[in-house]
Chain A
Amino acid sequence: MTTIIPFGPQHPVLPEPVSLKLELDNDVVVGVLPSLGYVHRGLEKFIDTKDYNQTTYICERICGICSALHGITYTKSVEKLFNAEVPERAEYIRVIVGELNRVHSHLLWLGLFADGFGFESLFYECWKYRESVLDVLERITGNRVIHSISKVGGVSRDLTKEHIDMILKMLDTLEPQIKDIEKVFVNNYTVKKRTVGLATMSKQLAYEAGTAGPTLRGSGNAIDVRETEDWDIYRDLGFKTVVEKDGDCYSRTKVRVKELYESIKLIRNAISKLPNGEITTPIKGFPTGEAIMRTEQPRGEVVYYVKGNGTKNLERLKIRTPTFANIPSLLLTLPGVKLADVPIVVLTIDPCISCTER
């Protein structure tokens, strides 16, 4: 006997409005049909009425969690259209804010994930540490969550000496705190009980299902856009891709925890190498041509396609977000798991429906 249970769109452990129609055989999922559209706004049409500068702000609001990286990717793609050379200092500031963004996003995810298996105090612990990152971001950019740091041609605010000291100090306190929560995620008996061996995807399957980010790297694929030539800065900073082999929820968690350390290292390196100089370069005229820009967001690779036609409005803007790439993998991993595990499995892809649907 199978029963259909609607999961979402409003569900307390899923902060995201996605609706899954789950077909259950006793306690086990046998079929799943995602239903989307609860946050579809129609942002790709924004470009018809607003110019390419204003579009930056809408791109940041594709999603509030990796907002800084959306803004950075968009502005970088438009700069590609202009063939513009952005001052190095601006690029470094983008990396610093982008990586701080990743730290806050991963801490946020770790917390929500803990909440997914009913571990409230761990959830609170993660979010408590996250606040120090937000405080720093607020002081750098003027806002806690939506940073508006990147603009076409550079960045909107500069880093002062005071800011740099504050970032370094924050990282020094944050690192041991991450070590503390890492111990729980990696060693706690009940946590392992819930995550080890759950929703395993083989290397091959994760690759072919087109997944992105920690979902992909958790299955042993060392693919990270930060290694590509689009972001040559990262190679100077000694970036190393984080990979875990097992492909289950546990290794996806470990990827994210290790990426926290990687990001902290990147921020420290970027600060030590931070060049002096301008933070913006003037951009004149209107964009023409086509460009594709990819960056690595907390949840995986985002692809921006922009096409300009010589007017102030872009002709086409298309965003392939990481969750969009990861959702099909749910169709493969959900059948066979228990109902109690559904939120956990859904959470391990770190779903952000608002960018999926735009």
Chain B
Amino acid sequence: MSLAKSPWIIHVNCNSCNGCDIEVVACLTPLYDAERFGVLNIGTPKQADIMVVTGSINYKNVNVLKNIYNQIPDPKVVLAVGACASTGGIFHNCYNVIGGVDQVIPVDAYVPGCCPRPEAILDGVVAALSILENKKKGNIKGKEVPLKGNEVPSNA
């Protein structure tokens, strides 16, 4: 139960339009107060458990994203927040967009909406808790993702 009581998140803003970002931040503010679940927005990936990704992936931030993912110690959970992070959303066909987050790193839970309500994001965090527990029990490791090259072409 220890993991489920102290999920520390790192928020990664990829191609987001800021809509999702401000809602993620809103989750931490008094009206939604994610700290009730022990959530802390920790600045460094090395101390994080849940990676909250907003926005789709482009050719420049893909390496930042992979790098942060690799730096998070196991067990870790990736939460894709918003239409963009889940499927590429309205930007899915743009020339500089690779697609949703799941094109480059494994994603454990998706939050729908554009932008998602803070309630939906809290749902996502709560869903991530049990996934974290399961990963710990099953000793499931996140796989190391390669840093450069073979970006998946936009097709989602």
Contacts and interface: CB of A to CB of B under 8 A. Distances in A.
A3 interface: no
16 contacts: A15-B21, A16-B13, A17-B61, A37-B58, A39-B55, A40-B60, A41-B96, A43-B94, A61-B17, A65-B18, A108-B22, A123-B29, A127-B26, A131-B26, A131-B31, A354-B17
A160 B152 CA distance: 48
Given A9-B61, A17-B14, A61 B25 contact: no
A354 B61 CA distance: 13
A128 interface: yes
A145 interface: yes
B30 interface: yes
A166 interface: no
B19 A61 contact: yes
A268 B91 CA distance: 37
Interface of A: 9-12, 15-17, 37-43, 45-46, 49, 57-58, 61-65, 67, 108, 111-112, 123-124, 127-128, 131, 143-146, 352, 354
B19 A11 contact: no
Contacts, number: 115
Interface residues of B, number: 38
B43 interface: yes
A145 B61 contact: no
B49 interface: no
A38 B58 CA distance: 7
A233 to B, nearest CB: 27
Q: Which of B13, B15, B43 is the most central at the interface, judged by chain A CB atoms within 10 Å of its CB?
A: B13
A10 B13 contact: yes
Interface in B42-77: 42-43, 55-56, 58, 60-61, 64, 68
Contacts of A45: 94-95
B61 A39 contact: yes
A11 B44 CA distance: 9
At the interface, is chain A mostly helix, strand, loop or mixed? loop
B68 A10 contact: yes
A173 to B, nearest CB: 15
B114 interface: yes
Nearest to B64: A9
Contacts of B1: none
Interface in B2-42: 10, 12-23, 25-26, 29-31, 41-42
A250 B30 CA distance: 26
Interface string B86-127: 000011011111000000000000000011010000000000
Contacts of A43: 91, 94
Q: Which of B14, B17, B58, B93 is the most central at the interface, judged by chain A CB atoms within 10 Å of its CB?
A: B17
A283 B117 CA distance: 33
B60 A37 contact: yes
A64 B41 contact: no
A144 B115 CA distance: 8
Contacts of A16: 13, 18
Contacts of B23: 144-145
Contact of A145 (B10, B22, B30): B22
Contact of A42 (B17, B61, B97): B97
Contacts of B114: 61, 146
B115 A352 contact: no
Contacts of A57: 90
Given A15-B25, A64-B19, A144-B115, A39 B14 contact: yes
User: Which 9 interchain pairs have the tightest Cβ spacing?
Assistant: A64-B19, A12-B43, A127-B29, A64-B18, A37-B60, A42-B94, A42-B96, A42-B95, A38-B61
Given A15-B13, A145-B115, A41 B21 contact: no
B121 to A, nearest CB: 12
A39 B22 contact: no
Nearest to A11: B43
A253 B61 CA distance: 31
Nearest to A132: B31
